Homo-oligomer: A and B are copies of this chain.
């Protein structure tokens, strides 16, 4: 398995986790929990692949990931109830920041592999990074977090995607450029969130 696929799978698990928590906090039933988790986990990558016209889609050929989220949704309700003491707001923000970093880097790398020009590749990274959460919020009938939260979110992804592009173009080995830019995005998001930095 390639390194990019590994990163995408990690991102999917983190995204599904944030979807579970969100859907449970909205008192959705089991089908709603599965749907929201699925949309959050696969929404960004699916939109990117539709825009780039790359088929078959990742989750269409690897049905094991859809089945995994299905099984996790079945046990998510009692699990989250049990873990309530552990699942604090802080943990959710950390999981979300991890997902932002992993998805963004997987997205920009996939766009480069598909031969996109640099600026479009960086936008594909941002789209992959944030769109799962945007779809989740639209389905839950809210203005997407990324558009109303004054704190840096998409801009962290954008900065990290360009860090990746610079490292990738200057010939650094992919292990270094992929992991370090994913880490950069996550850290940028967490630090600006904790410091309550406001964009204008």
Cβ-closest chain B residue relative to A143:
B141
Tell me which of A77, A120, A140 has the highest count of chain B C-beta atoms within 10 A of its own C-beta: A120
Does any Cβ of B come within 8 Å of A147's Cβ? yes
Q: How far is the CB of A12 from chain B (nearest CB, A)?
A: 15
When chains A and B are docked, how far (Å) is the Cα of A155 from the Cα of B31? 7
**Is A29 touching B139 in the complex (CB atoms < 8 A)?**
no
Does any Cβ of B come within 8 Å of A75's Cβ? no
Enumerate chain B residues within 8 angstroms of A53, measured Cβ to Cβ. 53, 55-56
Enumerate chain B residues within 8 angstroms of A30, measured Cβ to Cβ. 155, 199-200
Main secondary structure of the interface of A (DSSP, over half): helix
Number of copies: 3
Cβ-closest chain B residue relative to A138:
B138
Enumerate chain B residues within 8 angstroms of A141, measured Cβ to Cβ. 141-143
**Is A50 touching B52 in the complex (CB atoms < 8 A)?**
no
Q: How far is the CB of A150 from chain B (nearest CB, A)?
A: 6
Cβ-closest chain B residue relative to A52:
B60
Question: Which residues does A use to contact B, with CB under 8 Å?
Answer: 26, 28-32, 35-36, 46, 50-53, 55-57, 59-61, 63, 66-67, 70, 77, 116-120, 123, 134, 138-144, 146-148, 150, 152-155, 158, 199-200
